[in-house]
Amino acid sequence: MGTDLVKPGLSWSRSRSAVFNACRRQYFYKHHLSWDGWNHDAPERRRLAYRLSKMTSFPFLAGIAAHEAIRRTLCSVRDGRPLRMSSVDVARDVIKRVKDGAVGRGWLQRPKAYPPLEEYYYDGNPSPEERERWWKVAKSSVEAFTASPLFAWIRRSNPADWLAVDEPANYDNPEVFEIDGCRVWCRPDFAMRWRDKCLIFDWKTGSPKDDDRRQLHAYALHARACWGFDTSNIRTVAVHLGEFGVLRRAFKVTRDALDAVEADIRGELFEMRKAESAGDVEEHWALATDAAACTRCFFREICPAVSAVPAHKRTEVRERFTGEPV
Ligand code: SF4
């Protein structure tokens, strides 16, 4: 399928990199075909790609809810005003809002405000145990954070020294740096100035991943480029949160480490640019060679490698034959 709209400029982020490395076709759906799909008069396939690009799943949602609760908790400390609800209730509210929107198919009209949830969209009706499991991940992460000595220490610090509080990516924000003319989006969850040091924290609700070191070092690049810190004065810490409490993993920042991550990002941007020069023809973007990549891919409804039938279409077909809602 050809496209003729102006595409967004090439940029690098951890999530974009993950999609690119998982599957070129998935990258095409997420970063090209979905473009302009928010317009009601866009072609149906483009609108579908946009809907699927907004999809989330319980594991992601647990992380999103915990991050939002921590962000709002820190903002309330910074702004000197109490939260209108407890931190745990903020997380609960995020999950409920997304779940209710997904069940009510709010994504039919407004996928950005009401993203589809993979477990409802494809699987139909996730079990209460499954929902409970991920709610516990979000809840225990928030509880671990708010009870931690780290949070108590942050509360005692001067908010004037805070450099970042998990603000969403914003094209108007001047605090962004470039590599080879491409924006690199890697703003930390939380960062603050402490004496002559820059302390960078990344909240984690999942288990440690191979890519964590690169992510934290990319944040260090941001601190160096946007806040002017010397490499030797940057500290990065992944903070794992959960039922076990708080587990901190520090990643040493050295000139060699930052040179390596910068070269890595530069190499990926080169590969992305090369892939994009193949054009806007869907078939030019390779399908995943490892079928495991397709198992939980959000685009499996639109992708010919799977052509999954989502739950709402299965229901509609059954209704047509039996006349009864299932
Ligand atoms: S279903 Fe598989 S081949 Fe298709 S976009 Fe997803 S990961 Fe790629």
pLDDT at 246: 97
pLDDT at 322: 64
Residue 303 has pLDDT above 70, yes or no: yes
Q: Which of 88, 155, 137 lies closest to 241, judged by CA? A: 137
Nearest atom of ligand 1 to the alpha carbon of 24: 8
Task: Report whether 168 contacts 204 (CB < 8 A).
Answer: no
Q: What is the pLDDT of residues 245-302, one digit of tens each?
A: 999 999 999 999 999 999 999 999 999 999 988 768 899 999 999 999 999 999 999 9
Question: CA 93, CA 84: separation in Å to the nearest integer?
Answer: 12
Q: Scanning the structure block, which residue is given the tokens 């039996």?
A: 322
Read off the pLDDT band of 160 (50, 70, 90). very high
* pTM metric for this prediction: 0.91
Mean pLDDT of 233-252: 97
Whether 19 lines ligand 1, by a CB cut-off of 6 Å, is no
Question: CA 261, CA 239: separation in Å to the nearest integer?
Answer: 20
Read off the pLDDT band of 168 (50, 70, 90). low
Task: Report whether 73 contacts 87 (CB < 8 A).
Answer: yes
Token pair of 241 as six digits:
């949160």
Kindly report the protein residue whose alpha carbon is nearest to atom 2 of ligand 1: 294
Average confidence score pLDDT of the chain? 92
Q: Which of 20, 299, 307, 309 to mutate to test the pocket of ligand 1 (most atoms within 8 A of CB)?
A: 299
Residue 55 has pLDDT above 50, yes or no: yes
Residue 326 has pLDDT above 50, yes or no: no
Share of the chain above pLDDT 70, in %: 91
Residue 325 has pLDDT above 70, yes or no: no
Task: Report whether 269 contacts 12 (CB < 8 A).
Answer: yes
Residue 41 has pLDDT above 60, yes or no: yes
Residue 6 has pLDDT above 90, yes or no: no
pLDDT at 22: 94
Question: CA 104, CA 123: separation in Å to the nearest integer?
Answer: 15
Q: What's the chain's Rg over C-alpha atoms?
A: 21
pLDDT at 206: 86
Whether 30 lines ligand 1, by a CB cut-off of 6 Å, is no
The three-state secondary structure class of 74 is helix
The three-state secondary structure class of 184 is strand
Task: Report whether 163 contacts 147 (CB < 8 A).
Answer: no
Question: CA 245, CA 242: separation in Å to the nearest integer?
Answer: 5
Strand 182-185 and strand 11-13: the pairing is parallel
Q: What is the pLDDT of residues 93-116, one digit of tens each?
A: 999 999 999 999 999 999 999 999
CATH topology for 149-253 is: Trna Endonuclease; Chain: A, domain 1 (3.40.1350)
Q: What is the pLDDT of residues 139-154, one digit of tens each?
A: 999 999 999 999 999 9
Task: Report whether 307 contacts 29 (CB < 8 A).
Answer: no
Of residues 84 and 216, the one with the higher pLDDT is 216
Residue 72 has pLDDT above 80, yes or no: yes
Residue 229 has pLDDT above 60, yes or no: yes
Rounded to the nearest angstrom, the distance between the alpha carbon of 29 and the centre of ligand 1 is 9
Residue 8 has pLDDT above 70, yes or no: no
The string over 117-143, giving b where at least 16 C-beta atoms fall within 10 Å of a residue's C-beta and e elsewhere, is: bbbbbbeeebeeeeeeebbebbbbbbb
pLDDT at 280: 80
CATH 3.40.1350 placement within the chain: 149-253
